[in-house]
Structure 1
Amino acid sequence: MVAWQATGQRPVMAVWTTEQLTAFLNYVREDVLYPLWWLAALRGLRRGELAGLRWVDISLETRELTVMQ
């Protein structure tokens, strides 16, 4: 961040390959937070959006998730 402010050039964004993401999701498959890891990885939810999720935001009947925060 400091270099970005000094030079005005954004740093290159690091993005996982499909193989890296698959390996990570396989590694955390038994983790209690796996659904959050999955949402972040495959649906693009950010940390704040994940932290703001509530049960009322999830419809198991329609298989929909509403992101409000």
Structure 2
Amino acid sequence: MAYAIAQAVFERRNELGMSQEELSAKAGTKQPRISVVESASKLPSLELLTRIASALGMRLTVNFEQLPGE
């Protein structure tokens, strides 16, 4: 899951031509936290993910899906 989040944030930030510093300012956090998210070294809180998504012009959604065979 952390890798999918990291990839989504990295790709969208680059699509927008935004630096980690610019994203962190728009998301109300510090650049090292963006680096941690993009490196998938730690799962960020839902609060931080929501702020990052908003700063990237996106909406965070969470899905619960039934496991196969359940």
Q: Larger % of helix: which?
A: 2
Larger radius of gyration: 1
Structure holding more strand per residue: 1
Per the TM superposition, whether the score is higher than 0.5 is no
TM-score with structure 1 length normalisation? 0.29
Return the structure number with greater relative CO, CA threshold 8 A, min gap 6.
2
